[in-house]
Amino acid sequence: MPRFFSNKRLILLLVGVIVLVALISFSLRDRQHANLPEQIVKDVVGFGQSIFSKPARYITGTLDKIDGILNTYEENKHLKARLKEYASTQTELTDVKVENDRLRAIIGKEENLRNYNPIHATVISRNPDQWEEKLVIDKGSIAGVELNMAVITADGLIGKVVLVSKTTSTVELLSTENKNFRVAAVIPGKEAVFGLIEGYDTERGELIMKRIDSNFEVEVGQKVESSGLGGIFPKGLLIGEVTEVSTDDFGLTKLAYIKPAADFGMLDHVMVAERTSTVTSGTDGVVAEDDEGEDES
């Protein structure tokens, strides 16, 4: 026994183990305040972390600022290029408008199928059972809304007015399943390609443009607009973009699938296009909208 206690290393090891276990058990207890050794250790560690973290944050922040400045510089270059392009386009458009006015003055034609007065409105009601069919807006006859007026958004044509009261109006969307709802449309190009928007493919979520002359070439990606020849919709309202071209059931004409420019599922603010010029049957060889196929129901 005296020989056991004479081994100082063993004794120190046992005492160390006991103290370590005691400290661990003490530190694992639920306490609201740290003891003195813990406070000293935490203060020292915290001080060391603050010494290293502040310079690290400063360097990181500086690098982020430099990166932001570089990104801003690149964005600025891109925006300047776009601005020059926009200015060039605006100049060209102004020239085209001036030339158009001059030509119209020469031929003595006052009407312009593109002209319309916008009546701003807000969607106030939409029946879940007819979500893709109709909606109700907060403008009616008092505001100048009439039957068959075109309804548009900033993205493009969405439908027409089919019911009017004094303060509200019902709009039928292009995505309707009403087979009698047709829109006289055109695909602009070197040779304008005319047709009718007839029907909506619910599975594809796309409009169907029919009665396209098989002699004309239609390519994927071409824009589709209202032709203005039907007498209801102003000319030049964007409808969508061609995604696929095929022939009809009889192979006599072509049909094209059109991805709508406007999102029919997300409609909040719209505009009713009050057309300033009308097309009557027999005038300049253009038939009225009813003859073109757009009903007034």
pLDDT digits (tens, 9 = 90+) for 23-49: 666 665 555 555 566 566 556 656 666
Question: What is the pTM assigned to this prediction?
Answer: 0.57
For residues 107 and 297, which has the higher predicted lDDT (pLDDT)?
A: 107
Instruction: Work out the number of other CB atoms within 10 angstroms of the CB of residue 232.
Output: 26
User: What type of residue is 239?
Assistant: I
Percent of the chain having pLDDT more than 70?
Answer: 69
Under the banding of pLDDT at 50, 70 and 90, the label for residue 296 is very low
pLDDT at 284: 34
> 240: part of which helix (H) or strand (E)?
strand 238-247
**Position 4 pLDDT exceeds 60:** no
> 99: part of which helix (H) or strand (E)?
helix 36-107
Read off the pLDDT of residues 241-294 as tens digits, 9 standing for 90 and up.
999 998 876 778 888 999 999 988 888 899 998 877 655 433 333 333 443 344
Can you tell me the mean pLDDT for 222-245? 88
Residue where the block lists tokens 């003859």 = 291
**Position 203 pLDDT exceeds 50:** yes
Instruction: Work out the number of other CB atoms within 10 angstroms of the CB of residue 293.
Output: 18
Closest C-alpha to 156, from 274, 63, 51, 241 = 241
pLDDT at 257: 94
Closest C-alpha to 42, from 27, 59, 58 = 27
pLDDT at 234: 87
Can you tell me the mean pLDDT for 104-113? 55
* Cα 49 from Cα 254, distance rounded (Å): 73
Can you tell me the mean pLDDT for 10-18? 80
For residues 107 and 18, which has the higher predicted lDDT (pLDDT)?
A: 18
**Position 215 pLDDT exceeds 70:** yes
For residues 60 and 295, which has the higher predicted lDDT (pLDDT)?
A: 60
Name residues whose C-beta falls within 8 Å of residue 26's C-beta, 6 or more positions apart in sequence: 35
Q: Are 236 and 223 in contact (CB under 8 A)?
A: no
pLDDT at 209: 93
Mean pLDDT for all residues in the chain: 77
pLDDT at 76: 79
Can you tell me the mean pLDDT for 120-137? 86
pLDDT at 293: 42
* DSSP tag of 135: E
User: What type of residue is 259?
Assistant: K
pLDDT at 278: 56
